[in-house]
Structure 1
Amino acid sequence: MTHTSIPSIMLNDGQALPAVGFGTYTLNGAAGVETIAAAISNGYRLLDSAFNYENEGALGAAIRKADVPRSLLHVSSKLPGRHHRFKEAIATVEESLYRAQLDYYDLYLIHWPNPSRGLYVEAWQALIEARRRGLVRSIGVSNFLPAHLERIIAETGVAPAVNQVELHPYFPQADQRAFDRAHGIVTQSWSPLGRASHVLQDPVIKAVADRHGRGSGQVILRWHVQLGALPIPKASSARRQIENISIFDFELSTQDMASIATLAKPDGRIAGQDPAHYEEF
Structure 2
Amino acid sequence: MAGVEMPRIGLGTWRLAGEEGADAVHAALAAGYRHVDTAENYGNEDAVGLAVARALAEGVLTRDELFLTTKFNREHHGGPERVRPAVEASLRRLGVDHADLVLIHWPNPEQDRYVETAAALAGLVETGLIRAWGVSNFTAEHLDRLAEAGLRAPVDQIQVDPVAAIPGWQAAVHAHGAVVTAYSPIGRAELGIETREAITAAVARTGRTVQQVVLRWHLQHGRVVIPKSADPARQAENLDLLSFSLTPVEMAGIDALDDGSGPRQHPETFGH
Secondary structure at 1:140 match in 2: strand
Q: Does the CA-based 8 Å contact 2:37-2:69 persist in structure 1?
A: yes
Does 2:12 match 1:23?
A: yes
1:177 is matched with 170
Does 2:140 match 1:151?
A: no
Question: What displacement does 1:19 show?
Answer: 1.2
Q: CA RMSD in A?
A: 1.2
Q: CA separation in 2, counterparts of 1:218 and 1:30?
A: 27
Secondary structure at 1:137 match in 2: coil
Q: Does the CA-based 8 Å contact 1:170-1:199 persist in structure 2?
A: no
1:78 is matched with 71
Letter in 1 for 2:159: E
1:246 is matched with 240
Q: CA separation in 1, counterparts of 2:91 and 2:132?
A: 14
- Fraction of identical pairs, as percent: 38
1:189 is matched with 182
Question: What displacement does 1:142 show?
Answer: 0.1
Q: 5+ residue gaps in structure 2?
A: none
Q: Does the CA-based 8 Å contact 2:183-2:225 persist in structure 1?
A: yes
Question: What displacement does 1:154 show?
Answer: 1.4
1:279 is matched with 271
Does 2:226 match 1:226?
A: no
Does 2:101 match 1:90?
A: no
Question: What displacement does 1:220 show?
Answer: 0.3
Does 2:202 match 1:208?
A: yes
Corresponding residue to 2:122 among 123, 128, 133? 128
1:34 is matched with 23
Does 2:6 match 1:13?
A: no
Question: What displacement does 1:200 show?
Answer: 4.0
Q: Does the CA-based 8 Å contact 1:193-1:199 persist in structure 2?
A: no
Does 2:254 match 1:260?
A: yes
Secondary structure at 1:13 match in 2: coil
1:8 is matched with none
Question: What displacement does 1:182 show?
Answer: 2.3
Q: Does the CA-based 8 Å contact 1:169-1:199 persist in structure 2?
A: no
Letter in 2 for 1:57: D
Secondary structure at 2:246 match in 1: coil
Letter in 2 for 1:45: R
Deviates more, 1:129-138 or 1:40-49: 129-138
Letter in 1 for 2:17: N
Q: Does the CA-based 8 Å contact 1:45-1:74 persist in structure 2?
A: yes
Q: CA separation in 1, counterparts of 2:48 and 2:192?
A: 28
Question: What displacement does 1:198 show?
Answer: 3.0
Q: CA separation in 1, counterparts of 2:237 and 2:44?
A: 24
Secondary structure at 2:243 match in 1: coil
Letter in 1 for 2:31: N
Question: What displacement does 1:268 show?
Answer: 3.9
Q: CA separation in 1, counterparts of 2:49 and 2:111?
A: 32
Q: 5+ residue gaps in structure 1?
A: 1-11
2:95 is matched with 101
